[in-house]
Every structure is written in C-alpha cells, then in structure tokens.
Structure 1
C-alpha cells in the first residue's frame, strides 16, 4: 500500500480546500514514476488526463470524486475500507489495483463509471474490493467487469466480436420483478425453453457489438429455487423487442448447485435490458461429473500437479480449467499432468509468475477417443 505524495507538475491551480478536497482547476499532471496518495476528496474542474504515475485513494473515511471533468489516471489503486464514491467518472489506461474498499457509482446515473481504456485491466478484485455500480470499457474487445454489490464480487466476463467503442456493466442483487432503478421485468413472462427465471440477482450490460458473456453463481444466488440440476442453467435476457425473458443459452454450465458459471450464445447487449440466470425447459446438455481433486503446488512431491486417471484411456483429449467466475486460466491438448498451479492462457493479468491464488477451480475434459465430456472441481493450495 502506498500512502505518500510523489512528484506532481501543476500547470495552473490545485489546492487542498479547507482540508476537505483536492481541487484542480488548472492542469494537474503526475509524471512517470510519480506516486500520489489521496486521503481527501478530489474535485476536478480542470485538466487531469496526462498522467504516467500512480494515484491511490487511501485512508479510512469515505472519499468522493466529483467535478466537471472525469480525471484520467495511469495506474490506480484503492485501499479505503469506507469506499470511494464516483460522482463523476474516472478513466484509467493501465492497472487498477483493488486492495480494500469499493469504487461506488450511482446506479441511477449510468454516466458515472470506472472506465478502462485500451489495454487497462483490473487486478486483485475481490469481495472486499471491486466496483459497486458501473464499470465500463472503451476500445476493448474482451474484458472481465470487476462488478458486484456491497457484499460480493459478481463479475461478468465479456467476449465481443470486435472492439467495443463503449460498453458498461453493473451487478444488482435484487429481484428483477421489483428493481430499484428500472421498471419491472416480470419473471413469469418468458419465451420458449425458459422455465424459472432468477428473482435474486441480475446484470445490466450495455454495448452494441455481438458478444457472449459468462455469468457465475454461488450460494447467495439461490440456485435451488430454479433447479436441482446445474446443467439446466442458462443465461437469459429481457428482450426490448418482445418484452419477455428469452433464452441466450450457449455452452453447458460448469459447477454444482452451490457455485459455477454458464456461458451465453452470441447476442447484441443493447437489444436486452438486463441479464440473469434461469432454468431451461429443454433437455440439459450431458456432462458427466468425475472425482474432485486436490493440487498442492508446493514441490513436496505430493499432489503437485493435476492427474486425472481417466485420461490414460484417452490420449486424444483436451483440458480446460476455469476459476470460480468462469475465467479460463489453463488449457491444453492431449493433457497428462502439466497443470501445477500456473496460468497459461494469456488472459490472466496476475498469477503467471507467482502462480494462481489458492481456491476452488473447475475443469472440463473432452475425451475425444471415447466421445465423452467430463467436469469436476479441484482445490488449489500451496
């Protein structure tokens, strides 16, 4: 955690106003290598967009970012358990490090958001540090929105056919039948192949590029109210054209009743008001479950890698490993025992050198020789 002020170039006027805010009405710039720790509110009515250092929001009192213009930062960090409220947006074009506390944005005003430009990416988002409200991307094709509510991280994984000029996402832990910021989306109004629609949570995704999404669930999602078969879970969206819930079913879900994720088919987000989970009336796709595994990647010779005995019968196979939110962290053709707790997909910002964090992961195996698909869990520790 960094809590100091580094080198700042001030092109006009910036000051601490009555010890309550850093007020920029000129041209404030953080030079390369500069590090600025803010323990006070930020009011930006000037130019704050030519930065190459780190700006962090620290302390233990709630902070706000406001003003006429959205500031643009290079590296961004939050370590404030009482959160940072964005009354205007923030742009970032490198790394956002989530330590503790949330960036809060008003769900009633979607033009205030934490916006990731070009190659920018979040790191270390978790239940205790994320975006509680809207996150956005500009000129990005694929992204994991680090969104949730005050209690938990509930990210949406977006994979688009081309660059999104702008896409926005927020998570809502509330019933679609009586949302706080939208009209009702009656869970009883649904199209063919949709059985029961979640009245527990939903995601709002805005964008005009054909895309697929991955949504995850946990015990808080109350999946047993929808189905006792996790393979019956699908993504659904409230269609603006038909005013009902429509199936966006894609690849089979992965997981069990308590946790897992499911992928959608391709759709245009702006054609749907919100997205959530539902059970299907169609026959669930078959995916056989096998044993769960423990990988202790500590080099002691015991359980250092993932070994699946069934694969000895099928040398022509493929293995994919996902984290609990559906992010692919490892994949390999003709797998034997290569997974030792490190990512290899190129989609992980953190974890390649130090190894993936301890926790539960899902794996899916395709045994082409036997024409069988399997899924299971592994617990990774060190």
Structure 2
C-alpha cells in the first residue's frame, strides 16, 4: 500500500480540524493517486470531488461522516474496528475495499447509504466488514449488495430487467413482526392463505421501481429447518405487499441447497411494491421442469482437467433446444453468453472485458447465471461457484 496522508492538521483554507473532526468548507479533490487516511470524524459541507485518489477510514474509534453535502470518493476502504457511522451518504465512483469494520447507516432512513455509483464495485466483503444498514446503486442491472447485520454478511443480488436509476437494500436479523431497528412491523400471521409459514428470523428491504429478480441465501441461523413440515422444495420468497398490508407470494424461479444452507432466486417483481421480503413455505412446486431438476439453482465448476466438474452441465436444457445462457460476475459484468448452450462453458470468458485474459480463465469466485428456455417459456437463474 502506498503511504497515506493521515489527516490530523490544517490542510488548506478549505479544511480545518476542530472538536476532533475534519471539516471541509470548500472545494477539495484527492488527485493523482493520492491517499488520505482518516482517523477522526469527517464533516463535509462543500464539494468533495471524485478523483483517482483513495480516502480510507482507519483506527479503533468510531468515525462519523456527516455534513450538508455528500462526499464523492473515487476509492475508499475501511480498516476501522470502531466502524464508520453515516449521517449522510457516501458516493463511491470506483472501489470500496472492505477490510475491517462496517459502514453503518440509519436503518430507518434509506436515503442515507453507501452508494455505489454507475461503475462502483467492492472487494473484501466479509462477516467482519460490510454495510450494516442501507447500500445503494445507480444504473446497474445486476448487483450483489454487501449488506448484513453486526455478525454476518447477508448479501442480496438484484437482477433487474433494465438498469434502475436508484436501488437500495438493507438486511435485518430481526423478527418481521416485531423489529427493533425500524418503526414498521410486518405481522407474519397476516398472509394470504396459500402461504404456510413466514420466517420470523430475518428479512430484507429492497427498493427499486424496475421489475427484477432477487437472489437471497439462508444458513443455519435462518432456522428454516425449524419450520414444521418444511422441505427444500417448499421454501419460497414472500413479500409484505404495501397495498394489501399482508405477506403475499413472490415465488421462486430457482433454488438449491438443503434446509441448513441454500440459495433461492425469486420470480420477477417490482421491489418497491413490497416493504420487506423473506422466506416462506409452500406446497411442492407444480412446475414440472423444476420438479425434474431440483438442483437447478447452484452449480460448482472446477476446470482443472481432472475430468470432474470441468465444464458447466445444466441438466434438462436439451428439453428446450431454443435456449440461452448468460453468466455475470459479481459486479454485473457479462462474461459469457451462448445461444443454444450445449455444455461449452469451461470458466473462460467469451464476451466483455475479460476476453483478453482467456488463457488464464476467469478468476475464481461466485458468478450469477441466467438460463432462458424459450420453447418452454421458462427462465431460471442462480449462482455458479468457480474454483481454480
């Protein structure tokens, strides 16, 4: 890492330190790969222009970001186990590097958030470093929000039909019927008759006016196995409908895992029509393709030439010769596309900016795929785990 300029003194007529805070009252830009490290509160009351530099948050004391103007950073990172508390939004033009500590925003004010702008992305998210509260995006079709609570990273992937001008998301490890972080409650007993049980462990809030699918996961803390008569096939996405003030079925298009650990992708819906989403249970699905292919949703690929999982095989695609497969990385960038897919994907990009690195293949990690079966008028999506 390049040496940081640690702010603890008067920088120029635009900046002053008072009452253990850095105060910006005039135009300022971090340029030419400069790096600034903040160990104190940041009060921003004037333009803080995006540039090619980095502004990082460091130390073991809580840091508060406040002021009348939202600062715009090119790059930022957090290595502050006291956390960074947002009282106004931070706009990120390029990268957020999560190392240690959370960005915390008010859970009852979605407009205060860590906002990933048009090309913004992130690295290093984990249980120890993420967004607790609201994260936001601008003009992104596919994005995985690095949200969670104080203990765990609980991301939500939003796959929109077109790029929404703004979308926000937060996660709550709380009973929807009696949440402690927000004023509104979502009674899990107020539901349409086709829902058996609504989870009382956790929920997400996601707002976007563009139709989309969401992908969320569960783990042992979600306690889906404690729901009476629950099976993997009975789990479905449900949402608190704002107009009817009850839980209704959103539905799922793909699911994988077991009752202790799994991933589910919803049907397409308008997120802003719902005040909260979580897991519910239903009878077994009647979609014959989903019943015949219960593992559709999660795939593991290790293209190392050992003859096992060297290429992506999606069972059942031969039922619809007029099909397509698209694969996106975690930042929503399309890396592979094939019409009439017949097991060609071996971890190598055929579209987008990764093509020049075809010899090395795509980096290992989690990818998002979208399958369309035009003859059957079906669409499925889920996660692909690539291991090198």
Tell me which residue corresponds to 2:264: 262
SS in 2 for 1:159: strand
Tell me which residue corresponds to 1:22: 22
Matches within 5 A, 1:74-85: 74-85=74-85
CA contact (8 A) 2:30 2:49 kept: no
Shift in CA distance, 266/376, structure 1 to aligned 2, threshold 3 Å: closer
Tell me which residue corresponds to 1:48: 48
Shift in CA distance, 278/123, structure 1 to aligned 2, threshold 3 Å: same
Tell me which residue corresponds to 1:305: 310
Aligned residue pairs: how many? 375
SS in 1 for 2:272: helix
SS in 1 for 2:49: coil
Tell me which residue corresponds to 1:175: 175
Matches within 5 A, 1:190-229: 190-226=191-227, 228-229=230-231
In structure 1, what is the Cα distance between the partners aligned to 2:314 and 2:95?
40
Tell me which residue corresponds to 2:187: 186
Instruction: Name stretches of at least 5 consecutive residues in structure 1 with no aligned partner.
Output: none
In structure 1, what is the Cα distance between the partners aligned to 2:37 and 2:76?
10
CA contact (8 A) 2:147 2:170 kept: yes
Counterpart check, 1:237 vs 2:242: no
In structure 2, what is the Cα distance between the partners aligned to 1:23 and 1:376?
45
CA contact (8 A) 1:148 1:155 kept: yes
CA contact (8 A) 2:302 2:311 kept: no
In structure 1, what is the Cα distance between the partners aligned to 2:381 and 2:81?
38
User: Offset of 1:105 from its aligned partner?
Assistant: 0.9
In structure 2, what is the Cα distance between the partners aligned to 1:182 and 1:43?
28
SS in 2 for 1:231: helix
1:276 to 267, 275, 278: 278
In structure 1, what is the Cα distance between the partners aligned to 2:255 and 2:386?
21
SS in 2 for 1:170: strand
User: Offset of 1:207 from its aligned partner?
Assistant: 2.2
SS in 2 for 1:234: strand
Shift in CA distance, 315/287, structure 1 to aligned 2, threshold 3 Å: closer
In structure 1, what is the Cα distance between the partners aligned to 2:34 and 2:64?
22
Cα-Cα RMSD = 4.3
User: Offset of 1:278 from its aligned partner?
Assistant: 0.7
- Once the two structures are overlaid, the 10-residue window that deviates more, 178-187 or 49-58, is 49-58
User: Offset of 1:170 from its aligned partner?
Assistant: 0.5
Shift in CA distance, 52/143, structure 1 to aligned 2, threshold 3 Å: same
TM-score (norm: length of structure 1): 0.80
1:339 to 339, 346, 364: 346
User: Offset of 1:380 from its aligned partner?
Assistant: 5.8
Shift in CA distance, 115/294, structure 1 to aligned 2, threshold 3 Å: closer
User: Offset of 1:81 from its aligned partner?
Assistant: 2.7
- Once the two structures are overlaid, the 10-residue window that deviates more, 65-74 or 161-170, is 161-170
